[in-house]
Amino acid sequence: MKAVFERLRTRFDQVVGVHERPERLAAAWALGLAIGFSPVMGLHTVLALLLALVFRLNKVDVVLGTLIINPWTLPIYFPVAVFLGKRITGVQVPRFVLPHPEEVLHAAVWREHVPWLRSVLLAWGAGATVLALVAGAATFLVLRQLIRLHRARTRHDPPGD
């Protein structure tokens, strides 16, 4: 049984790129996080896989990094990105009044809210782009250092400690 778990662990380590150089492992996760924070919602996985192929990074690590934005983190990320985007662009987001549920599917309701949609999308796009660049760079720098420290520490520890 122990041999089975050891083989599974070895295979898992290979799949997620544990044995990659620290720079490549950090770059894969940083790229994934940057894509996750980017304003191209709905294209994260496709974009992550394409860029992982282009840069020859571990595809699993890049895709896992994109999962930073999910239903649990979106309620925090979106307002922060819009707030940041408003500060950067100077866009004023008009007050939005939610339409009644039966009106949501009518095109006239959304045409009426075009100024709000345009300003929110512009602010979110700008804020999300800045967050993506900062998150990607910070992730690369911090993770590369953490991986190096961890590997240096584990090289000196006797097995089983």
Q: pLDDT tens, position by position, for the chain (161 residues)?
A: 788 777 777 766 665 567 789 999 999 999 999 999 999 988 999 999 999 999 999 999 999 999 999 999 999 999 999 999 999 999 998 777 667 777 778 888 778 878 888 999 999 999 999 999 999 999 999 999 988 888 888 776 555 44
**Are 58 and 13 a contacting pair, CB within 8 Å?**
no
Q: How far apart are CA 47 and CA 10, in angstroms?
A: 28
Ranges assigned E (strand) in the chain: none
Kindly report the pTM of this predicted structure: 0.80
Distances (CA, A) of 104 to 16, 78, 109, 131, 161: 43, 21, 7, 30, 59
Listed residue (43, 47, 45) closest to 67, CA to CA: 45
Contacts of 144 (CB under 8 A, 6+ apart): 22, 23, 25, 26
Q: How far apart are CA 105 and CA 56, in angstroms?
A: 43
Read off the amino acid at residue 62.
V
Read off the amino acid at residue 105.
L
> How many Å is the Cα radius of gyration of the chain?
21
**Are 124 and 131 a contacting pair, CB within 8 Å?**
no
**Are 32 and 59 a contacting pair, CB within 8 Å?**
no
